[in-house]
Structure 1
């Protein structure tokens, strides 16, 4: 790579490219003709101009200014709130959010730098459309076919510092999918998809700088990344998929790191829904064990560990338990005087356990509990342990949701504890605290009525 802040470039070798910043672009104001400003910068005497196959790297700030995305705002926080669709993580005043464009970034791209005091800059309304308009305008003004990338600055998880990335593109193949190919050693490439758009954006930033008044760069020598074909007119409903910067945004379903810390807890709790129907897809036992790891972090009295989890991983063990429990339920219901129709209906409610591909029986043990001389305190002691057992089960259910596993906690084992202990060969002091059906939900959960926490709060 060759950097030319004030270039006199020659034709680059096939394995090299050149990058330089366009000089002479003045402070951009709302309504300015950005095409004219860039074309004037590209035709300054002594500069190499623009040629077919070049890639233009344009800082989003000047696009926003030209498009009038300047907001009078003494309160930047209100502007961030308006541009945010989801708060990913928060630490003090700093917020990582998903903007309405779909970008996960700090402050939704709302910027108070390089703009007059009392104003903030919003991201372009549609960065891909902005890139297409600039590309078309330069073709009409200068007769050249160039690729255009609109950039902004992002921080990155696990990496210190910031870098420019592509938020809009036209005429550039922003992803280079190498899957299915082989490397120089003949190894198959199974996951390699290069983020060309972001790499070009970062290369341009090396010569633009943050405070040097050079908002546009040109990259020459990489025509393989510039798409041939007609330039779309502004207002085109959709760019070709391979040249839209939206292709660089990972979809939610495949994003393993979508959630921030606080949001992960909130979403896992929200995802924790009772699932009544499961697919036949097997359950990963390792995921269940990770959920148990979370369960045993619950609070408990006297520094005890009152939780035990019995994992029924085979169909034979599940059916043996459920058949024995069914017989006990039926006997109890008949003793209660229930009709056969009523008994059949009640037994069917337990079929969620029978249909699940995985079953867990949480148990409570009283190891470490205190014994008192009066029944009142002994009853309170047990209640403390039961509460701790419930906290462990809640942790378990939330952790399963975080593993994208559905669950249903059913209390039925509590009504036939002796049967459960006998079938599963459990110690006599293990109290089964229900059963948890685990599996992959067969359908999205039903909408549940919203609950406002204030309805459950009493302040004294």
Structure 2
């Protein structure tokens, strides 16, 4: 920043923008005193109008649908979505204000390209090199109120990376990356306002933020999905975790965080259960020795059972190999059912139904566990094999006699991306009466 600081003012005198208008030339005419290093802050609404992005839409919701790539969060009719420009915002940025009835304004098709065209147009008209920010209004997580943010940029340093520098006390800055383009957008909005009909502002005195090259554009401000800790709303996060819940049979060598598994267990034990009971127990096999002992003992039990069934050695080898996922997994969880609190009626039919209630509760707990593991970005495979040799499992793991192992869950980081899941039509599983 220069010693004099900086100035921000709105550009007066711009007429109503119509499709096909040369917006850069109109700005240059309205503000002919632009100089090198100025930053133009331009509301996306006038960019969209000039680019003919006003479309007929008697149904705004249909227009939002067409611009939506992914629903991030929904509350009633309000939707926060990722739009086709990669921006996360309410209603995909579709605007029904300041446009004729029966039409809506879409965001510019490519806001960074729009900013480059404006920059080139001003340079051609006035012979000056300016930076350009294209803005739109957005809400923010955890904060009330709206502010403008940069959705397009050209010739402006959109991010100012201060990592590695030191503060006034000599402390190194390890995480400070300033969103300068968003700060410029907000500064411009202070003088443009929302109701004054002033869609363009000029920021002067911040020449160090203006570059000769067009630069990365505002797309660089969009956080990568892998680094976004708040990618989804609550219900959408649950649905995505359900979608991510896939059977994984090949794991990488990356170690499993035991605390992540414990968080998944905390979710598992929120499952419904009969009579206010807690029928779940989870045995965590964190050491390689414990996993090997269990898998070897179960393998011997399976082989003995299969030989007793008269299976050939070739068939036995093939069937036993299915348990390799447990041997290869870096972490195992053995869910167990405990029927403390079950009612005993002295009637075979009712006692069988009572046990089934507890088995269903155990299954709900396992499902919660698998979904929560997916939410932790851990793959899993539920294998029912422990239920065929429960006595062996109890003996090897030193479990109480009333703990019923309900399979084993292999846990780890997937070695490869899962194949796309075939879509199942829910109507095929529904009967309405």
Which has the larger displacement, 261-270 or 350-359? 261-270
Change (3 A) 1:448 1:50: same
CA deviations over 1:315-349 (Å, ceiling 9, x no partner): 11111111111111111111111111111111111
Match runs of 1:127-276 below 5 Å: 127-229=111-213, 240-241=215-216, 244-276=217-249
How does the TM-score come out when normalised to structure 1? 0.92
Q: Name which of structure 1's ranges 381-390 and 314-323 shifts more when overlaid on structure 2.
A: 314-323
Partner-residue secondary structure (3-state), 2:201: strand
Tell me the equivalent position of 2:410. Answer: 437
Aligned: 1:355 with 2:339? no
Q: 2:265 aligns with which of 280, 292, 299?
A: 292
- Partner of 1:391: helix, strand, or coil? helix
After TM superposition, give the deviation of residue 360 of structure 1 in Å.
Answer: 0.3
**Are 2:10 and 1:21 aligned?**
yes
SS of residue matched to 1:366: coil
Distance 1:348 1:81 in 2: 48
SS of equivalent to 2:260: helix
Matched, 1:33 2:22: yes
CA–CA separation in structure 2 for the residues paired with 1:281 and 1:189:
30
Point out 4+ residue stretches in structure 1 off by more than 3 angstroms: none
Is residue 416 from structure 1 mapped to residue 370 from structure 2 by the alignment? no
Aligned to 2:375: 402
Q: Which residue of 2 aligns with 1:7?
A: none
Number of equivalent positions: 433
Partner of 1:63: 47
| Structure-2 residue corresponding to 1:78 | 62
> SS at 1:71's partner residue?
strand
Please list every run of 5 or more consecutive structure 1 residues that lacks an aligned counterpart in the other structure.
1-11, 44-48, 230-238
For 1:106, the equivalent position in structure 2 comes to 90
SS at 1:116's partner residue?
coil
The Cα offsets for residues 43-92 of structure 1, whole Å up to 9 and x where unpaired, read as 3xxxxx21100100000000001111111212111111111111111101
CA distance in 1, matches of 2:256, 2:170: 35
**In 1, are the aligned partners of 2:7 and 2:204 still within 8 Å (CA)?**
yes
1:88–1:262 contact (8 Å) kept in structure 2: no
**1:15 CA drift (Å):** 6.5
Shift, 1:191, TM fit: 1.6
How many angstroms apart in 2 are the aligned matches of 1:272 and 1:287? 15
Q: Please, which runs of 5 or more residues in structure 2 have no aligned partner?
A: none
Q: Secondary structure at the match of 1:26?
A: coil
Q: Deviations over 1:297-331 (max 9, x none)?
A: 11111111111100011111111111111111111
Task: Give me the whole-angstrom Cα distance separating, in 2, the residues matched to 1:350 and 1:53.
Answer: 67
What's 1:5 paired with? Answer: none
* TM-superposed deviation, 1:393: 0.3
1:371 shift after superposition: 0.7
Match of 1:311 among 268, 284, 288: 284
1:91 alignment counterpart: 75
Deviation at 1:13, TM superposition (A): 4.7
